[in-house]
Amino acid sequence: MNQYGWTLREILIVAVLGAVFGVLYLAWVQVWLIAQAIFGPVTMDVVMGFWFIVSIIAGAIIRKPGAALLSELLAALVQVLLGSPAGLLLLVTGLVQGAGAEAVFAATRWKNYRLPVLMAAGVGAAVFSFVYTWIRFDYGALAPGLVVTMFVLRCLSGALLGGLAGHLITEALYKTGVLSGLAIDRDRRSGHA
């Protein structure tokens, strides 16, 4: 099959994933706010990885250029439509996070979706988002030790809550049979991960 052409089913799957995770991302804000009240400001970096997960799942299922980016952008759009206080700026956030994951998949030429690559995609989203939030919130004014801690926590969160959790959800979906006939299924049947 053409690696770059999309089927209607693939487009619908990315749209559904974007919608579902847009709602979940909005709910995750409440988790972050509660945790922040208890543990302080670095909590955002600890929980940030969950906001990258749809790009990992969509990328692993569809296995085509743009799946990770598009899914994060759609999740951001759903949040905006549901009234997120972040407003339209959330679209930039989704674009940046999706681009970070997409960059890792692009580095493998969209051919490797094993767990280490999915975790690296979570780290890619973390790095891109960190650069964006550095600029947006002037992290240069913070103590260097705090910035390093925030960066490390965000990368770990991206690897675990984005990559590892995304892998586990993808595996669970695959076992149900709903992904039959998609790129993930064709790769598994041909002996590729």
Question: For the segment 169-186, what is each residue's pLDDT rounded down to a tens digit?
Answer: 999 999 999 999 999 999
Distance of CA 177 to CAs 19, 61, 82, 123, 147, Å? 21, 12, 31, 29, 43
Q: How far apart are CA 35 and CA 43, in angstroms?
A: 6
- Can you tell me the distance from the alpha carbon of 48 to that of 164, in angstroms, rounded to the nearest whole number? 14
Q: What letter represents residue 117's amino acid?
A: V
Residues 6+ away with beta carbon under 8 Å from 26: 78, 79, 82, 84
pLDDT for 40 equals 85
In this prediction, residue 108 carries a pLDDT of 97
Fold of the 8-189 domain: Arp2/3 complex 21 kDa subunit ARPC3 (1.10.1760)
Averaged pLDDT, 8-20: 98
Assess contact for 149 and 42: CB atoms under 8 A.
Answer: yes
Q: How far apart are CA 14 and CA 28, in angstroms?
A: 20
Percent of the chain with pLDDT over 90: 91
Q: Which pLDDT does position 2 carry in this prediction? A: 58
**Closest-CA residue to 113 (of 34, 190, 60):** 60
Query: Helices 165-176 and 53-62: crossing angle, nearest 10°?
Result: 40
Q: Indicate the pLDDT class of residue 6, thresholds 50, 70 and 90.
A: very high
Which backbone phi and psi does 182 adopt, to 5 degrees?
Answer: -85, 175
pLDDT for the residue numbered 184: 97
Q: What is the pLDDT of residue 193?
A: 67
Domain map of the chain by residue range?
Answer: 8-189
Q: How sure is the predictor about 191, in pLDDT bands with cuts at 50, 70 and 90?
A: confident
Q: Mind listing the pLDDT tens digit for each residue in 48-89? A: 999 999 999 999 999 999 999 999 999 999 999 999 999 999
- Between CA 67 and CA 62 the distance in angstroms is 6
Name the CA dihedral angle for 7, 11, 14, 17, rounded to a multiple of 10 degrees: -110
The predicted-structure confidence for 137-154, as pLDDT tens digits, reads as follows 999 999 999 999 999 999
The residue whose two tokens read 């910035």 is 147
Tell me the torsion sign for CA atoms 60, 62, 64, 66. negative
